[in-house]
Chains A and B, each alone.
Chain A
């Protein structure tokens, strides 16, 4: 396990370097001058020159790239233009809100998916299956940008049960978490159903039942772990969708995380902050992927060997 862990961490380095390079390339190589965009087409050439100098954009590209990578290695992501503070400290202040939302979304997804998936997989074709899969189809299709406003209309404006926007106690977390978690819940419920149906038809389940175990006991003792392995894989594969969903959900609910920070930085043409937020999202995803892979290796020993 230790050697697998080491190998995985070493393999992370080129991906992290690639992510940093691509982020740099998007901001610095894509046509369009960020300084002109920031100051407007009518800005005086002297102002453009001084801003370019302030941001270090008048240096050769390779020098900029080297100092950018060196900065990242030291935890320095430059200074935000609109906040006039180090990018890293702004991101650090907003980061916990994004983690909270993503974790809550994941929790909602699991809490919804497990009962639905089990009910559906226990009796394929039955009433519970049809309604659970109806939910799944709707859940996969409805976009965050519609589900969010819909929940706001129902639960904040009509019923007045929950606050409309912002971050605070648990009550503020419910609607954003449901908005974020529903699509994942739908995907997981479908996966769990298929997985359970496959397990129930397997030889070892038939043997266990033939030897006198009741079906629920056999499922609990022998089937469950096997049925869950593909579900864990799907959770890992869906982490990217969860993170970018969190970004959109933050904008819908004025949730003060790095997703909303990124969008407002784009609006303010604060490129150092845009760069920092994109990097923070991508690196989070890379590390979460590593964590899911390690979890997977713990559950399934075959992964470690290959």
Chain B
């Protein structure tokens, strides 16, 4: 209750993310309709008791497809953020600790990757790697690691100059001890905030790539390819875009609020 009034972003964000995870985990057990079963009699059927969100052009149940899409969306975004975070922290950490030439080279590489606007690099990579979930994860992580590298490097450079770290060094703490006892705990907060926002961002990026035909391929339901398919029937069946569109929007909202909430909780200003 206290958290809810003092930090509404955290409370609402947590509720949305929890509901999303629950829907993804339990969805297929709650909705017994087969998400890839074709039923042409129900082609483009509107919402009904049997199909609360209606059916797509092949008569497949939209609700069960959205729920299965949540699994894909969450598993892709969490894998991408985990991969990006590990690669980015290693590279950024090395750059920050080593300094000098290594730092210069690492930061030039970051600059070059960041010179590709938005999801362009992921689009180019996915185009060459071909569609598919693993390739999608690789393409998105190849784009996503730079943010973590910058944060980790920046935090290390700033933490190194803090009094408590200088004091620990003066008292004879070894480099590994400095890193694990004093630097990493200070970095964890900002990285957690970035990762939370990152999951929301990757949910949007995955949907965009699948929408463009560069991610999950039919019949695997992804919110992005459902939106793309629904686009052809805007006039006759506008409900086809509603469910996946709202699902993407609410998920991004949830992770954004959660990120805001965590930032507020730990007093971090990015």
Contact = CB atoms under 8 A, between A and B. Distances in A.
Nearest to A140: B256
B241 A149 contact: yes
A239 interface: yes
Interface of A: 14-15, 18-19, 21-23, 26-27, 30-32, 34, 37, 137-138, 140-146, 149-150, 152-153, 157, 239-245, 247-248, 251-252, 262-263, 266-267, 274, 278, 281-282, 284-286, 289
Given A26-B125, A241-B118, A248-B211, A15 B231 contact: no
A22 B213 CA distance: 23
A289 B234 CA distance: 37
Contact of A145 (B111, B114, B207, B235): B207
Contacts of A282: 115-117, 120
A141 B256 contact: yes
Contact of A285 (B116, B241, B257): B116
A146 B227 contact: yes
Contacts of A267: 213
Given A14-B108, A18-B111, A143-B252, A240 B117 contact: yes
A241 B114 CA distance: 11
Given A138-B253, A247-B118, A247-B120, 19 more contacts: A22-B113, A27-B124, A140-B252, A141-B256, A145-B227, A146-B241, A146-B249, A149-B245, A240-B114, A241-B117, A243-B117, A244-B118, A248-B208, A248-B212, A281-B116, A282-B116, A284-B117, A285-B115, A289-B115
B77 to A, nearest CB: 13
A157 B111 CA distance: 44
B149 to A, nearest CB: 16
Given A146-B227, A149-B230, A152-B234, A244 B117 contact: yes
Task: Bin the interface of chain B by size.
Answer: 35 or more
20 contacts: A23-B124, A34-B128, A137-B253, A137-B257, A138-B249, A140-B253, A145-B208, A145-B248, A146-B241, A146-B246, A146-B248, A149-B230, A149-B231, A153-B241, A157-B234, A157-B235, A240-B114, A243-B118, A248-B208, A285-B115
Contacts of B52: none
B221 to A, nearest CB: 15
Contacts of B120: 243-244, 247, 278, 281-282
Interface string B232-270: 001100100100111011101100110000000000000
A240 B252 CA distance: 19
Contacts of B109: 18
A19 B108 CA distance: 11
Contacts of A239: 117
Given A143-B252, A146-B241, A146-B249, A18 B117 contact: no
Given A143-B204, A152-B234, A153-B238, A274 B124 contact: yes
A30 B129 contact: yes
A18 B116 CA distance: 11
A144 B208 contact: yes
Contacts of B246: 146
Given A149-B227, A149-B241, A274-B124, A15 B212 contact: no
Contacts of B118: 240-241, 243-245, 247
Contacts of A146: 227, 241, 244-246, 248-249
B232 to A, nearest CB: 10
Nearest to A19: B115
Nearest to A251: B212
Given A14-B108, A245-B118, A143 B208 contact: yes
Contacts of B228: 145
B123 interface: yes
Contacts of A274: 124, 127
B20 interface: no
A149 B119 contact: no
A26 B124 contact: yes
B112 interface: yes
B92 interface: no
Contacts of B211: 145, 248, 251
B121 to A, nearest CB: 8
Given A14-B108, A146-B249, A150-B241, A278 B124 contact: yes
A141 B253 contact: yes
Interface in B73-126: 108-109, 111-121, 123-125
B234 A143 contact: no
A292 B115 CA distance: 14
A238 to B, nearest CB: 10
Nearest to A29: B128
Interface string B155-171: 00000000000000000
